[in-house]
Each structure stands twice: as C-alpha cells, then as structure tokens.
A and B are shown apart, each in its own frame.
Chain A
C-alpha cells in the first residue's frame, strides 16, 4: 500500500490528535445500484432515442485502435454527422471504447474511468485483442477476455478495424440503444462482486475503493 494511503495520526491546529484513514475519508465507498428505466415506456423510448442520437465518446485510447478513431473527426468520415463527439472527461461521456490490447496497468485506469462515467454507459471493444487476447494470447501482461472485467456491449472485429467498420459499429450500437438492450451499466451493477473478484485476481496492488465514483 502506497505511503500516502496508509492510516496516519494527525494533530489539528487546536492540538487535538485524530486518525485519518485516506481510503475511507477521501473516497466514497458506496456500491453502484441498478438504475430502473424511466417510469413510462414512451419516455424511456424518447430518452433511448436521444441517447442513441447523441453518443459522447470518452477520449481514452488504450491500444493501437486509438489511431483509428482520429479519422472519424476528419472531413472524410466525420462522425459528428451521427451526433457523436468526443468528451475529455468521463463524467460527461456515455461510450468507452477499449481500442486494442489492455495491459493490467491500463485495465486499472480503464476501470477507474468507466466507473466515473454516468449510467447509462456503453463499452465497445475494438480488435481481436479485446475478444480473446489476439496476438498477445500468451503474454503475461495483457488480459485475454474483456467482458470478464467490464460489461462489453459490442465487439468490432479486426486487427484494428478501419474507420468504416467503426462507423458501422456505432450504427449497430445505436440500434441496440434504441432497442433498449444496451444496459451494460445495470449488468455491471447487478453482478458487481463477480466483476470485482475477476478484476482483483488480475490487478494485484488494489489501492483504490471498490467503486470509483
């Protein structure tokens, strides 16, 4: 455990000494809860339609696929036409794209970003490395199946799919959202412990709360 996270005794300005437990005092330990859809079907459909039409992607490129997302912003492919845009902070993002091999160290950061996104949120895995480990199938460092650690809605196959494939992937995602079965956030909340045990088996120095709000 890092030094700055250990429990330490601190003396206040008025001389009173007390314990500071960083992991409890600095972080909220609540676990995520399953979020029910809107009270009436019509409203939920409207919301789903709006969610599908304006997908905000988190600018977090993990592997070699990130380079494929750049052309989507250029005039040739122009993802803005589909209401898609890139947001720098996970708070405002709805879609997390894991583009390529995911080392254990990056997985820890991806989990933190994913948990900081607001539900409903979706995950797309790009390339074969996220499906079955790809060419790093025997590496000691990269994970082999993404959906053990994060609820993945959609895989786009290819050892780095081209931008057209990405656009097609987005369209399928739009259809899934409109159909209402892109509830990755709720599945994550539902079997939260299963995901956590998987993650903890791979990430050894777990120096953060269970759910990073």
Chain B
C-alpha cells in the first residue's frame, strides 16, 4: 500500500517538473511547481506511514500511555506541515512576480525576459 503512494508521489513530482520545463507561460510553470510540491508532500507522508497504526492525534481514543504502539511516526507529519506552508509562501511570491512581469512587458512568456544574459 505504501509503495503505491510513494510511486504516486514520485509520478507527481516528475509530472510537475516536466510541466515546469515545457510550458513557456509563467503561470503554467507556477501551477506545475505546486503540483511537484504536492508530490513531495505525498512522498513525505508515505515514508512516515506504518501499517496498522492510526493518525498521531492524542485525543479521547488514543491516550498518552499507549500512544507509542498505536500511532504512526509523527515527525514526517510535522515536516509536511512546514513544507506545505513554505510551498504556499513561495508560490504566492512567484504569482506576485508573474503579475509584476506582466505589468512591465505585457507578456507572460518566460523566454521574453532575457535582457540579463551573458
């Protein structure tokens, strides 16, 4: 079961990278990057999964004492949370850039912004 999720995660990453490197339009790139980010998050989760255990939430049905046997590894979960937040931050910034670039040049084609070269 875990392998399926892992494979899906990697597929998403490759798909995202492919999309980012093929489409000239900046928005397409941003979307494909976020697809890649979700793929990475999937992989993070898949690595942390232990079969037959439940989510690491200490509430009524999982008490502190028997938490060690019943819950899956909580550390990857925490990492995913931070990764998602950072993904959001970076995507927001890229969108802001896309907006500013469209204002200056009136186009979103990345190959048009090559004044800085050599």
Asked whether any CB of A lies within 8 Å of a CB of B in the complex, the reply is no
* Interface residues of B, Cβ cutoff 8 Å to A: none
